[in-house]
Structure 1
Amino acid sequence: MDLNIFLVLLEDGIANGAIYALLAVTMVLVFTTTRILFVAQGEFVTFAALTFASFQIGAVPQIVWLLGIFAVAATGVELFNAVSVRNFRRIPAILGLYLAVPFVLIAVSIWLAPLKAPAIVQAAVSVAIVTVLGPLVYRIAFQPVSNASVRLLFVIAIALHFILQGFGLLFFGAEGFRVEPMIDAGFDVGMLHVKGQVVLIIATLAVFTTALYAFFEFTTPGKALRATAINRVGARIVGIKPDLAGKLAFLLTAFIGGVSGVLIVSSTTIYYDSGLLIGLKAVLGAICGAMLSYPMAIIGSIGVGILEGFGAFWASAFTEAIVFSALIPVLLWLSFRAAPTEEGHEL
């Protein structure tokens, strides 16, 4: 291996690690807020990536029908609950948020697909579809059992992964997709040619990290999420609704997952089942921060990406084994630290 190859592998590793870092940050957010180890986060990435690829070839992304199914189901549950307690004032809000917004997105997608709109417009609609899907997933799958144990929530997350993966196969098929980079330019730094798409991915990580910091520190919803993460019971006592915090957490994680999918589909071929490995590598990065620390999750995820890049060069057949073997020393290190309680977490 010469210096040029080393730098190329390092560049690719950092780019992949930045994607894992985006997902790891949202996994920490979801876990501290809802106690859910959301391994199905990778499905948001694949759905956004394959939706974007569908727009690129002028086809209506079939995932919009899944959005419609989830919207109708969530609306039915909310309407039943509202009628049961005779809270009829909530009905217009329920119909607007749970039914109108998703079906407007469905109509926009059907209208936009054959127009061959600019890539940035297609990417925005793809991210919007996945973003709206996030809170619907929480409402249907997790909110009814939000007070369950961490183990049960994890089992539900695993089951949800396989359900969403099955829908991915149904709606997108087994064929993989890859699109042209959104930024095809690049520049030279010494012997290394830095791709514009890599710069975009790293810049996205920096922007989202800064935005999340500002969100948690300076906004009321962000402070509510922090309060829920630190003490769910205490947050409930002061009037913060844990279920509303859960929906907001899933909204953010779906949005960031959607952006990650749009970015990654131009650098690697994405299949309907690619979400599992992407999600697990993000989990590995998040575990480096003990599922609590955002900075450590980012550093660990970038390390995972670099390890993956060099592992693929030295032993491509054993890349995944090399990457996930790194979990062993991380778990050994964490085993010497005090485990967090279910009701109290530190950000």
Structure 2
Amino acid sequence: MDTSLAILLTQDGIVTGAIYALLATALVLVFSITHVPFVPLGGFVTFTALTLVAIQEQRTPLVAYVVMTLGVLCFLLEVAGAWRSGAGGRAVLRAAGQYLLAPAVLSALAVAASRATVPVPVGMLAACLLIVPIGPMIYRLAFQPLIDSDPLTFFMLSIAVEVSMIGMGLVLFGPEGARTEAYTDFQLTLGDLVIPGQSLFILGAAVLLTVGLFFFFNRTIRGKMLRATAVNRTGAQLMGISVVRSGQLAFTLAALIGAICGLLIAPRITLNYSSGLMIGMKGFIAAVVGGFVSYPIAALGALLIGLLESFSSFWMSAWKEVIVFTLIIPVLLFRTLHGGDGDDTH
């Protein structure tokens, strides 16, 4: 292997690792706050990318009907809860705005974008806004009723949600793979190294999103609320912080990160209805490397996975997935022998 090829593979591994790092960050966030190993996160990647393809091809994004259906189910649960607790009509109106009006408006915007020739950023925004609400809706329907369950129960439930999303994706998008056109034709040339503009776009977006999350957690009330819930749920409740709202916000942020990752890789690789499982699992491995508590270690693990995947694709492409997933064995062995959970960096 010559130097130019090694640099090219390293570049590809770093770009891929940046995507996995974002997913790992979302997984650590959700687990630390709700104890849910959010396996279906990869589904948000493929749903967003394929929705953007539908909008660009001026096809109605069928996922809009799923969003509205989930909204109706969540609204009915909220009404039933308000009736049992004796809450007033204000709670019902709030639920109607959150689960009926907002999904309907976002779905209408996505459908309108698919009926006209819109600029690429507008299509990206419409696809993202349509997919993100699915996150808190899944939390409301599947996880909130079992809020005090153990992680094993949540893991099994996450697998069920992932299987449901794969089946839904087949119905909504069909079996064929698709990708969007490149967002830019720009290339940065540094000597013998040529860096595609798409790679720079991914790295820049990853850095901006990471910085944004840092300021959110350290400079905003809601961010500090999430940090408090992650450190000590009981203490947070005693201070008046709602664990339910923290869970909803965590799932919303995770869905947003997953949707942004879908937009970033949509022109890079061909995705189909089941691609999210493999993408999400690699982010999951990175989160395991960080013990589901350490954001920096999870990010480093994601970069390692990206590099390992890139070089193994060149040397042993048929064994690429086996090599990547085998990484979890020594990590689990190390954590089992040392009996630690990793460094808590909240």
Q: Give unmatched runs, 5+ long, in structure 2.
A: none
CA apart distance, 1:86: 2.3
Asked if 1 retains the 8 angstrom alpha-carbon contact of 2:20 and 2:286, the reply is: yes
CA apart distance, 1:186: 0.9
State how far apart, in whole Å, the 2-side matches of 1:99 and 1:188 are: 50
Which range moved further: 330-339 or 277-286?
A: 330-339
CA apart distance, 1:83: 2.0
Deviations, residues 260-297 of structure 1 (Å, cap 9, x unaligned): 00111110000100011001100111111111111111
State how far apart, in whole Å, the 2-side matches of 1:47 and 1:5 are: 33
Equivalence for 1:310: 311
Equivalence for 2:71: 71
Aligned pairs (5 A) from 1:23-172: 23-88=23-88, 89-172=90-173
Deviations, residues 26-47 of structure 1 (Å, cap 9, x unaligned): 0000000000111110001010
Q: Percent identity?
A: 38
- State how many pairs are aligned: 345
State how far apart, in whole Å, the 1-side matches of 2:297 and 2:113 are: 40
Asked if 2 retains the 8 angstrom alpha-carbon contact of 1:47 and 1:168, the reply is: yes
Equivalence for 1:14: 14
State how far apart, in whole Å, the 1-side matches of 2:338 and 2:121 are: 45
Asked if 2 retains the 8 angstrom alpha-carbon contact of 1:39 and 1:161, the reply is: yes
State how far apart, in whole Å, the 2-side matches of 1:296 and 1:60 are: 41
- Equivalent position SS for 1:115: coil
CA apart distance, 1:331: 1.7
Equivalence for 1:292: 293
Equivalence for 2:179: 178
State how far apart, in whole Å, the 2-side matches of 1:190 and 1:201 are: 22
CA apart distance, 1:330: 1.6
Asked if 2 retains the 8 angstrom alpha-carbon contact of 1:229 and 1:346, the reply is: no
CA apart distance, 1:5: 1.3
Taking structure 1 as the reference length, the TM-score comes to 0.97
Q: Verify: 1:237 aligned to 2:242, yes or no.
A: no
Deviations, residues 67-99 of structure 1 (Å, cap 9, x unaligned): 111101001100111122221221111111111
- Equivalent position SS for 1:335: helix
Letter in 2 for 1:315: M
Taking structure 2 as the reference length, the TM-score comes to 0.97
CA apart distance, 1:340: 4.7
Letter in 1 for 2:287: A
Asked if 1 retains the 8 angstrom alpha-carbon contact of 2:41 and 2:255, the reply is: yes
Deviations, residues 304-334 of structure 1 (Å, cap 9, x unaligned): 0110011010011110001111112222222
State how far apart, in whole Å, the 2-side matches of 1:180 and 1:8 are: 22
Compared CA separation, residues 87 and 291, structure 1 to 2 (3 A): same
Equivalence for 1:272: 273
